[in-house]
Amino acid sequence: MSAQRTRRARGDGGYRKRGDSWELKFPATDPATGQRKFRYVTFKGTETAARSKLRELVKHAEDGAFQAPARQTFGSVLDVWDKALTVSPKTAERYRELVRLHIRPHLGELKLQAIRPTRIEAFYNDLLAGRRADGTVGRALAPRTVSHIHRLLAKIFSTAERDGLITSNPARKAERPRVERTEIEILTEDQARDLLTKLRGRPMFLIAAVALSTGMRRGELLALRWRDVQLDLAELQVQQSLEETNEGLRFKSPKTKYGRRMITLPAFVVTELRTHKAAQIEERLALGLGKDGADALVFRQPDGSPLLPDSISSEWRRLVVSLKLPKVSLHALRHTHASQLIASGVDVLTISRRLGHGAPSITLDVYSHLTLKLPTNSRT
C-alpha cells in the first residue's frame, strides 16, 4: 500500500504518512455553524499509535468535545485538563489555584497554536515583576513559585500534545526562572535536646520526639495508628498519610511503594509511647468512651478523631515563639533526623528507605550540602 494513500478508520476517518508524521483525518461538527467537516491533525509516532489517536479524536468529535486547533484557546485546553485531573485532592487544589490566579488570566484567551516559548518566558517575567494580566502591578511571585507554575504548564501542554492539538510542547522549550538553592533547616543535637526539654508535658512533645527519631512527615505522624506500632519490637509501620483539603480530612496511601515502610524506634520513644497509650486509655475510660479499637490513632482528639494538620503547624509556630524555640518549621525535625543519620555514617540507600524517598537520588539531591562524604551502597 502506498505511503500516501489514506488508510480508512472508524467513522469515515483516515490517516496517511506525511514525512516523519501522520496526518489524521476525521469528521467533526463545527460548534459555531453546526456544519460537519473533515478535520486534520498532525501526529508523531508509530502507525499503531496514530490509529489509536485517530480513534480517540473520532470519539471526541462524536461526543462534541473536539474543537479545531486553529480556533481553540488555551482556556479551552485548561477546561479539558481540569476535568481529567487524577492527582490527589490536595495537589488538585494547588494546581487549580495556580491556574485560576496566574495561568488563566495571562494565557487563557490566547490561541493555543500561537503560544510560543518566548510568550511563556514573558509570562514568567510578568509574574516575577508582579505585573497582572490587566496591566496593574501587585505582589511579585518568588522564583520557586514561578518554577512550580512552569512544571504545571509543561504538564498541561503535554496533554494538548498527546491529544494532537499541538505538535510540540512550548513550555519544555521555555527557560524557567533560576531558583537559588537554600539550605534546609536543621537543628543541632543541643538544640534538639533543648527543644524536647521545653516541650515536655505538652501534647506537641511526643509528636516532636517521634518526628526527630523517625524522620516521618507531618501527615504520616497524624495518620499513625496503634495497630501499626509494635512496641515490643521497637518499630512502627508507615501505612498512610493524613492531608487537609477544602473538602475536609483525607487519609491517603503513600505515592510510591517506598513510602510504606518499617522504621525502628529508640528506647526512649518506646517508653514515651507506652506512657502515652496508657494515658489515652485512662482518658477514654474517664469520658465513658470505652476501650480503643484496633484502628485508633496515636495522635488524636480526645474523642478519637484526627488532629488537623494545619492546626498542628499553627500550634508549632505558636510554641516556637512562646517557648523561644529555634525558629524552624515542624518539617525541620525530619531534616534533622536525616542529618543525624548522615553524620552517623549511614549509607544513602538506608537513609532513603527510612525517609520513604522514591529513590536514593532524591535523598542525595535534598541533602547534597551534607552528603559530600555520605557512604553509598552497591544496590543503589
What pairs with residue 42 in β-bridges? 23
* Percentage of residues of the chain with pLDDT beyond 70: 89
Would you state the pLDDT for residue 30? 60
Please determine whether the domains at 74-173 and 189-370 fall in the same fold group of CATH. Answer: no
- The tens digit of pLDDT for each residue in 287-340 reads 887 778 879 999 999 888 999 999 999 999 999 999 999 999 999 999 999 999
The mean predicted confidence, pLDDT, of the chain is 87
Task: Say which residue, 136 or 57, is predicted with more confidence.
Answer: 136
Q: Which CATH code of 1.10.15.40, 3.40.50.720, 3.10.129.10, 1.10.150.130 fits the domain covering 74-173?
A: 1.10.150.130
List Cβ neighbours of 298 (8 Å cut-off, separation of 6 or more).
224, 225, 226, 229, 273, 276, 277
Is this model's pTM higher than 0.85 or not?
no
- 149, pLDDT greater than 70: yes
Would you state the pLDDT for residue 7? 59
- 164, pLDDT greater than 50: yes
Cell numbers standing for residue 46: 508509530
Rounded Cα distance, 113 and 129, in Å: 26
Would you state the pLDDT for residue 35? 67
14-18 and 21-29 as β-strands: parallel, antiparallel, unpaired? antiparallel
Would you state the pLDDT for residue 294? 78
5 pLDDT band, cuts 50/70/90, is low
- The tens digit of pLDDT for each residue in 63-88 reads 655 555 567 899 999 998 998 898 88
CATH H-level superfamily of 189-370: Intergrase catalytic core (1.10.443.10)
Cell numbers standing for residue 152: 504545571
- The tens digit of pLDDT for each residue in 200-218 reads 999 999 999 999 999 999 9
- 233, pLDDT greater than 90: yes
The pLDDT of 191-201, averaged and rounded, is: 96
44-53, 112-121, 124-133: the lowest-pLDDT one: 44-53
Burial 100-119 (b: 16+ CB within 10 A, else e): eebbbebbbeeebbebeeee
Domain locations in the chain as residue ranges: 7-62, 74-173, 189-370
